[in-house]
Amino acid sequence: MKKMKILVILISIVVQLICFLHIKVIYASDMHSQKLSLSEVVEIALQNNSQIKESKEKVGEVREEKRSARSDFFPKLTASYSYTRLDEIPFMKSPLGSLGLSNLDNYHWDLTAVQPLFTGFALSNKYKMSKNKIKTQKAEKNTVVLEVVKNVKQLYFKLLLSKKFAHVAAESVQNLMLHKKNAEKFYAQGIIPYNDLLRAKVALANVVQNKEKADAGVRIATSGLNILLNRDIDSKIDIKDIHSIPSFSTDFNAIAKDALLNRPELKAARLAVKSIDNGINIVRSSYYPHIALVYRYEQNGENSSATSNDYSNMYNSSITLKADWTLFQWGKTKANVSAYRYKKRSILEKLESIKNGIMFETKNAFLDLNVAKKNINTAKDSLAQAKENWRITNLQYQQQIATSTEVLDARTFLTQAETNYYQALYGYLISIAKLERAMGRDHKESVLNKNTYATS
């Protein structure tokens, strides 16, 4: 009966494990089959990225340091135990003879509680410093999040751009394969010379190589995005294409104001200044006496529990008000305070440097965005003209009005126009990601999240 129960339990465990693995496989297959939007990819990165996880662990680390600093306000309880074996019984001589003072075996244990009453404001400043450290670490975590989100967006758009390049390359291969067939037909009919046929073959070989490079670019962008999402580097990922182009503010003053207000690097630097002030107060605490209340209970005896003593009182307790005051250290405290002041001034200078760097980064991203936006319309017009030129030239070649060289040039112009258009389009979206990073904008407030996506 007992064996049957064990067998039933084992079968139940195996069934549950199979169900769990089955669900996990289904979930994984859904991840690969469904197309992900930009916001969905960003959310996956926020959950899985190892850099973000590392920064979260660091926040947990400084939280524990804060708990440690808070514990210093409360009494510290210590215990000690000792055993001493004497070679001879100590005695005291008197007119009446020798009087024994102790046992050969001496056991001692005690409990001591120390409650700090005044530490020259050292404990309170240590606690404030630990609280600032949490805020600083959170600001550093936000910096990591902003950087990861920016990188994810860049690779998302670079992957879309790589796919467009691959599509253009495949289209170019298809067009030039058809052109080569036409050239072979015309050469067989004696309409064109052999070198025109050779041009068509060489051009086809070149675009085939370009297609291989474009396909490799897709794989590279996919691998980079997988790394940021903390997935297997060779995992397949299907993402949605952009359907519309989002607009962005053209008011640089408002953008710069948001950057100086939101950037976590500035918040971390300002918190570092506060921590320096706390550090100065901690050093200055040695100018004051440190006062503590000490309670002590002890027992002495001849057995291991110290409960038997024929020579003195078995137990005792005491309460002591203790004050420690360092009166002179050869200028050490003053030097430490001066060191902190130099450090504070260096951080204030660093704060100004961070502000200037943020303004420069924001200005660059803003200018890049405006250039990319203007390039979209120019590249779009150029693409329409290149498509029409390719259509006309191809038709003219069918009628032998245009030469093979003109056909190849028209296809080259079209490939370049398509490349320029997609670079301008996705370059504009990448510029938005960079500018929002420079502004310190939260990913949930990104204009890219308000975009619509193509379903095919």
Amino acid 402: pLDDT: 86
Domains of the chain: 34-73+121-288+331-454 (1.20.1600.10), 76-118+290-324 (2.20.200)
pLDDT at 403: 86
pLDDT digits (tens, 9 = 90+) for 205-227: 999 999 999 999 999 999 999 99
| Whether residue 19 has pLDDT greater than 60 | no
Residues 6+ apart with CB under 8 A from 327: none
pLDDT of 341-392, one tens digit each?
Answer: 999 999 999 999 999 999 999 999 999 999 999 999 999 999 999 999 999 9
HEC per residue, the chain: CHHHHHHHHHHHHHHHHHHHHHHHHHHHHHHHHCCECHHHHHHHHHHHCHHHHHHHHHHHHHHHHHHHHHHCCCCEEEEEEEEEECCCCCEEEECCEEEECCCCEEEEEEEEEEEEEECCCHHHHHHHHHHHHHHHHHHHHHHHHHHHHHHHHHHHHHHHHHHHHHHHHHHHHHHHHHHHHHHHHHHHCCCCCHHHHHHHHHHHHHHHHHHHHHHHHHHHHHHHHHHHCCCCCCCCCCECEECCCCCCCCCHHHHHHHHHHHCHHHHHHHHHHHHHHHHHHHHHHHHCCEEEEEEEEEEEECCCCCCCCCCCCCEEEEEEEEEECCCCCCCHHHHHHHHHHHHHHHHHHHHHHHHHHHHHHHHHHHHHHHHHHHHHHHHHHHHHHHHHHHHHHHHHHHCCCCCHHHHHHHHHHHHHHHHHHHHHHHHHHHHHHHHHHHHCCCHHHCHHHHCCEECC
Query: Which pLDDT band, with edges at 50, 70 and 90, does 17 fall under?
Result: low
Q: Please state the length of the chain.
A: 456
Residue 25's pLDDT band, with cuts at 50, 70 and 90, is: very low
Q: Output the pLDDT for position 20.
A: 45
Question: For position 186, what pLDDT does the model report?
Answer: 85
Q: What is the pLDDT of residues 328-343, one digit of tens each?
A: 889 888 999 999 999 9
Q: What is the pLDDT of residue 10?
A: 55
Mean pLDDT across 149-178: 94
Record the pTM: 0.81
Q: Is the pLDDT of residue 24 over 70?
A: no
Q: What is the pLDDT of residue 27?
A: 42
35-49, 74-88, 236-250, 373-387: least confident range: 236-250
pLDDT value, residue 180: 87
Greater pLDDT, 353 or 90: 353
Q: Is the pLDDT of residue 7 over 70?
A: no
